[in-house]
Amino acid sequence: MNYTINALFFNDDTMHKIYEEKGKFPFLYQLPQMIYSSIISQILNSILQLLALSDEVILEFKNNKNIYNAKEGKIKLIKRLLIKFILFFIISSIFLLMFWYYISMFCNIYENTQIHLLNDTLISFGMSLLYPFGIYLLPGLFRIPALSKRNKNNNKSGKGKCLYNFSKFLQII
């Protein structure tokens, strides 16, 4: 996915910039495209994860206490999971075929930009591996002071509660 989305950002201006630089990798020129492709790839990946992951549905079924509803729920759960998995495999297969076709055509037509595309892809993939640390670390940095023992007095006055609510807001984002 990263590879294809990076290839989508290669246009005439990018090719001309590579030509002007005499084949050198224009890192600063490509940095915004790498960031955009990383974000777009993450959004597409999260949409596919909604179809692939089934833990919420199973936990909802598991927490059902009524035996009669559990028997009915079992059939609904199986149908729901079957539909989710079939949709996931169909959509991911379509994406894979489209990505394969686009990349094979792009690399066949623009043979001299393959190294630049690979560099862009590796850097944007590396960024997509690093930014979750910041995303998950930031709410924790606000939650630790909100829940610490020495701030019990602040929790009663509202400072700790405010910090905790802000960390929950950051977690949602």
Domain boundaries, the chain: 2-132
Q: In the chain, what is the straight-line distance between the N-terminal and C-terminal CA atoms, in Å?
A: 23
Q: Report the C-alpha gap between 29 and 17 in whole angstroms.
A: 8
Task: Report pLDDT digits (tens) over 102-153.
Answer: 999 999 998 888 888 898 889 888 888 888 887 788 888 887 777 775 555 5
The pLDDT value recorded for residue 100 is: 95
> pTM here?
0.69
The pLDDT value recorded for residue 30 is: 82
| Rounded average pLDDT over 70-82 | 83
- Evaluate whether 131 touches 140 at the Cβ level (below 8 Å): no
For residue 24, how many C-alpha atoms fall within 13 Å in the half-sphere facing its CB? 7
Residue with more model confidence, 156 or 110: 110
Q: Report the C-alpha gap between 91 and 2 in whole angstroms.
A: 17
**Average pLDDT for the chain:** 82
Write phi, then psi, for 26 (nearest 5 degrees): -80, 85
